[in-house]
Structures are given as C-alpha cells and as structure tokens.
Structure 1
Amino acid sequence: MMGNWQWNTMTDTVKWSQNLYTVFELDETITNLNFDTYLGFVHPEDKEIVNQYFDKAIKDKKLNSFTHRIITTSGKLKTIHILGEVHTNEKGEIVEMVGTSQDVTDIKMAEKKFRGLLESAPDAMVIVNDKGTIQLINKQSEKLFGYTLEELIDKPVEILIPTRFYPKHTKNRNSFFNTPITRVMGNGKDLYALKKNGDEIPIQISLSPLHTEEGLLVSAAIRDITKRKLAEQKINEAKENLELVAQKLSSQNKQLADFTHITSHNLRAPVANLNSLLEIYDQSETDLDRTDIFGKFKTVIQHLTLTLNTLVDALKTKIGDSGEDLEEIDLGNVLEHTKEILSGAILNSGAIIKNDFSKVSTIRYKRVYMESIFLNLVGNAIKYKSEDRIPEIRITSELENGNIVLKFHDNGLGIDLEQHGHKLFGLNKVFHRHPDAKGVGLFLTKTQIEAMNGVISASSKVNVGTTFTINFD
C-alpha cells in the first residue's frame, strides 16, 4: 500500500516504484512520467491545495506530511499520504524531491466512521493519551467547554480540570492506564470540569480504553449534570420542607389535643355546677333559698363567661395566620407602653423595672401579641411580688444561634416547678393565693408565642424569683 517516487525538478521527470503504479492503477509500461502526470490523478477539489503544497515546498525547501485524494485510472477514489524531502545543489537550488505515497483510504474510512460515531455520541467525548494530552474531541465537547478543536488538540487535559483536582487526577490517570477497563470515574463523589470562561460545572465521567497502533488511549464520556444537581437540590429542599410541615402538623395536633383537653376540662366543671344549682333551685321551697341560689348562678355564669372568652381568644390565636399583620416592633416602646398601662400597680408596689435591649432592639412580630406578652409577664411579676422586698424586674434581649431570645427575670415569690411545672401554662391554673389570680395570663401568653412558632419556658426558685425565657423562631 506504499510506493516511492522521485521527481527531478530540473528536467520535470518522475520515477515511480512498482507499488506506486499499483496504488494509482497505472500501466507499468508507461514510463514517461512528470509532475502533470501525477497532478492528473489528483481529485479536482484537491488540485489547488496540492499546487499550494508543492509551491510552499519549493519556497521553504521542505516537504511536510500531506494527505489528499486521487482518482485512479479505473475511477476509484483513494486517499494518499505523502512524506518526502527536498534535495538542493551547491547553489541552494532545488534539483530533486523524493518521498513516499501511501494508500490510507481504509485508514481514513475507519477514521471517518470513528469520527461519525464520536460526533453521534450524546455526551462530550475527549480522547487522551497516556501522557494526558488531548488527541481528539467532538462537537459536544466544543459546545460544553467553549473551546474549538484547534484550541484543545495536543493540549494537556488539565486545561479542562479545576486546579484543586490536579493531584488526584494524575493518580487516577496512572491507575487507569495500569488497569485499562471501562469504569465510571469518581462514583459517589462530586466531580467538576472547568470551562473556557472559568465557570465550573458538575459532571459525570465514564472512561473506556482505546487500543490503537499508536498505543493505548482513553476515551472520556463527559456529561453535564447541572440540571440533575439542581433537581436533586429541589428534591432535598422539598423533603426538608415536608419534614418541617410534618413537624408543624404534629406540633399543631398536640396543641389541638391539649386545647381540647383544656376546653373540655374548664367547661365541664361550671356546666355541671350550673346543672346542680338548677336542680337545687327547682327543689327550693322558699323565695329566700331561690334568691341565694340565683346569686350563685350569677357567680358561676361570670366564671363561665370569662373561661369562654379566654378560650375563644386562644382559639383565634391558634388558627390565625402567623404571617399577617407583622411589623418591625421596638422592644423599648413596647415596654414603655406596658409601664403606662401598669403605672398604678408600679407606683403602689414601688417596682423597679430595668431593661437591656442593646443586643436586639427590634423584632418583626404581631404588635398585639408582643404587647400582650409584655403585659402578662410584667403584670404577673408585680402581682406575685414578695412582701419581703421591693419587686425588681429585669428584661433582656439577645441572639442565640440566630434566634432572638427575650428573658423576663423577677425576684418575686417564685414557683415550685417540681410540684406545679407540668401545669404552669394551663388555663385557670394558679399557684399563689391572690385575689386577682385567674390562671389566664400565662395560658394566653404561651398560646400567642407558639402561634408564631416560638417557645416559652420557665426557671424558678421559691422565695427567690422566676425567669421566663422566650425563644422566637
């Protein structure tokens, strides 16, 4: 499939070897050969580039490797590959060119078929030799990385890899050439490629060995998985949101169960009391007895009305939209408003109220809830003061793990949490003998805080004081 030739440029005479006659399918008896004889076999579309090639060879006095098409005497289309050298005389004049012409038609057909397969691949394909030099890429690679074929051929493959992956890449490449089997690269790990514009993209790579006459090559099929990563992120976010919703629903179900228990417990007793009074009223024989019982009716009905109103307010809080009516509230202003409402109780008790809102001075919240929280907690601190000392109330704000925390500390009577802790925030639960104690304030405060996804807790020592801590979500 290879023949040699000799062209005397001074006399324009050409000599071909027997193999070259066979390649061109020319009768060996024809010996009167010249450059035009050869040019007559060149494919019409390649004649211009062939002339340019030899003109350049004459100018540079050098023959470079060159491939073009010919049409044989029988009409066959072939591709030949030319190698040669230029000989000059003492004056530097070209006197001769000699070289070889090889029939590479089958090789080119195979290359064309391989190129077709490469271009039909849905992924970017990059073929690299054992030195890590890029030998071939397809159009998908040009589209993915932003480079042209000419910009990548014979360049180190590291041009497509972020620098932080260099050490592992070299190790993995050597490992592959030592054990060349088809495999997925970086299975279970995040891999990234580097585009021409400097952007990094998440990728998936499959490696396959290619055994060629030039040695072992590796074919890397590279897939951009940016959309898949985004989809996975959305799925994870949706999963987290579902978990939050499930937790919220679970919490709301628990609150509803607690609320149902409180409602049934606090309504059943007064209704039963009314039924008993009604039965006694029917059995009473004198007007005096009936008048006395009627007075008890009034007391029980007032208590029932208070309970119903409290439960209705709590229910409104629980089912209200926590996202409505939110505003940026100044904690100092809320405290001043609270002091104005409780001014009489503060004067009578001599209460000292201190605050430190230097770490957090404002909060986005429902104003009606925040004012109610301050009013109940400050009011309770004054109401349940110790007779042995002047009441002191200290209110502070701070940030813990990104959440706002409010603390209400007093030096009042304190609460025995071991005995009463489980019912501290229950409706109508009182822990001290006080004429104004109704057990409503803490219940409503807890309801309002939890409606906004917050948490309230208490620490207390009897005859020392109590601290209420509110964590706002």
Structure 2
Amino acid sequence: MISVLYVKKLYGSIESDKQQVTALFEHATEGIILTNQRGEIVLINPAALTMFGYRKDELLSRSIEILIPGRFKPNHHKYREGFYKAPANRSMGHGRDLFARMKDGTDLPVEVSLSFYKQKGEFYVIAFVVDITQRKESERRLIEQKEQLEKVSADIRKLNAELENKVEERTLILKEALQELEKSQQDLHDALNKEKELNEIKSRFVSTASHEFRTPLSTVLSSAALLSKYVHTEDQDKRERHIRRIKDSVKHLNDLLEDLLSLGKLEEGKLQAKPEPVEIKEFLDDAAEEMKAIAKPGQQILVELHGDTWFTTDKKLLKNILINLLSNAVKFSPEEGIIDLSARNLNNQLVISVKDRGIGIAEEDQQHLFSSFYRGKNAINIQGTGLGLHIVKGYVELLQGAIALQSAIGEGTTITIDLPALA
C-alpha cells in the first residue's frame, strides 16, 4: 500500500510539473521552437506561430529553413551542422542584423538564443525567438533623429560661421566707416584750422599792408606838397631832405611789393634752385657792404669764414636770404651796434649765422615768427611786413637746408641756416 501511494504521488508530481512546463511553453511571450538533429521542427509555441503568421500544422515536421530568409538559406544548414558538432548555449545576432521569414514572405527582425539537450540518444535544439521590430524601429528613429540632429548641428555651425563672417565683415565695414569718419573729421578740422589760419593771415595782411602802404604814401604826398613851396635857392637843403624822404618811401614800397611777389612765387612753386659755384668770403663781404646803405650810425657788420672758400648753391636765393637776415639785424639793432656774420664751410656743408644785439624776440612769439605777416609784439612800431622770415624759411627749404632761431628779450637774436652743397 505504501509503495502504491508513493507511485501515485510520484505520478501526480510529474503530471503537475508537466502541466507547469506546458503552461510555460504555451503562454510564453517569446517564440519557442524545438528542432531535432535533422533540423525538423518538433514543437512550436503559440507566440512563435503568431510571430511568423503560420498555423501549427504548417510548421510541424518542416525544416527550420522555412523560417530563414531566402538570401540566408544557402549557408544556414552549414551553420546548423556546425552547431550540432560544437553545441553550446548562445545568443545569435550580436554585432549584426538577424532576420526570420514570415509566412507572407516579409522579413522580421529577431533576436535568437539557442539551447540544446539530448534525450534517448536524440539531439534537440531549442530556439528562443524575440520579435525586435519595435526596437529596430526605435533604433531607426533614433538614428534618423541623430542624423537630423547632426544635420541641424552642422547647419547651425555653418550658420554660426556665416554669421561670424558677416559680423567680421560688418565689423570691418564699420571700422573702415569709423576710420573714414575720423579722417573726414580730421580733414574738416584741418580745413577749419587752415581757414582760420588763412583768415588770420588775411587779417594780418590787410592790417600790415594798409599800414605799410599808407605810411610811405602819406610821406610821398606830404613831401611832394612841401617841395612845391621851396622855390628859392636857399631852400635847396629842404628840397633834398624831402626828396630823400620820397626816395626812402618809394624804396620801402618797392621792398614791400618784392616781398609780396616772392611770397606768391614760393606758394605757387615757381621758384627752383639753380646750383653754381660761389666764392663764400667774397659773397659775404658783398652782402655786408650792401647793408652799409641802410645801416644806422655806428653799426658794424663783422664777417668771418672758417673752412673752404668755394661752395655750390643757388647764389641768388642765398643772397636774398642774407640780405633779409642782415636787414632785420640792422633794423632791430641800436646805433653803434655790432652784427656778426659768420660762416663755416666744411665737408660740403655750409652753416651761416647772423647775430645781433638788438631788442630780441619774446619766447611766446618765436614759434610764430616763420609764419606769414606775423610780427613780434615788441616790433609793432618798427617798420616791416612780417614776411621776411617766412620767405627766408621758404628759400632755405628750396636749398634743402634748415633754419634755427635763438633769441631773448634785450639780448639780441641769432639766426642760423644749415645748407648742404647742391649737385
């Protein structure tokens, strides 16, 4: 009785296990396919039938190749035989896409895991099949989104590059525009300063010319009127005095006109240097001798030369420079005053200095003395046009030289010109 009860219990347990295995097989969500060693389908669960679209009777005893896509069939039996020779539990499809063939002929993306066992000398293979269509679709969408994202990123990078180029171009254009604006403002500022300077020159010219012309003309008129009254022989000395006044006034007017003509020629660029050999000592002596006619009583011009005797330059321009400088020295120096005219001629470089001991020039006036029609504040009441040093500077520049001035109120003035030999 005990044996019978044990056997019944054992059969009941086996029957229960069998029911559980059957329920697991029938209700599994994965497809399960059992094949024998000939590759024939022995068992297939409902999930696999639904997955491939077959009825059970259409697959049982059929070769597993019925579920293999046509392009893979020629080599599949080799893979199957290789598995039989070296069986092992493994997953298939890693690193490559794996497909099964449905009843309607379409391909189904799947994942397959293989297991095996032997029963009564027979070899069986269990295939667990999972439909990964949704996963593949998700992967496809993910890849598409990634590609779209990469394309958008590339477009954004391209757009950023274009924007940067445009910003750089606009920045460059703006910079050039600002530079042009600054240049225009500078040009306008220079033009306004030039206009202001021209107005100042015009004002000084009108003031100087009206004074310089009016004074000698008045002298000529008054002297001419007085001459007509001196008709007697004993009035000869009076007539000669007025005649000298008329001559001096006419000479002054002539000098003024010469200065204006020289200024016009300089500004129009009509003057050019014409080099020629000049005997310097004789040249300096002649200039000093010529000044005696206008020198004040007791004034002396002392001439001194160091170095070579001959020098190549424009003799006419150099004479105009010296006469102008010496005339100023005579004009602004007192009676009995000494004027030094010294020159140094070495290595084709001539340096001439004219030094007086006259009224001197205020420091604030010195920077303007080479401007046209400008006169120092302490020279307003002394006859002159304010053109002399401006013309001298122009002549010196024509001779490719430089001019410098040193002066102090009450101590006199020294003007130095430095000239190279002209070819």
User: Shorter-chain-normalised TM-score: which range?
Assistant: 0.3 to 0.5
TM-score by length of 1: 0.37
Q: Which fold has the larger relative contact order, with Cα–Cα distance below 8 Å and residues 6 or more apart in sequence?
A: 2
Higher radius of gyration, 1 or 2: 2
Higher strand share: 1
Higher helix share: 2
TM-score by length of 2: 0.41
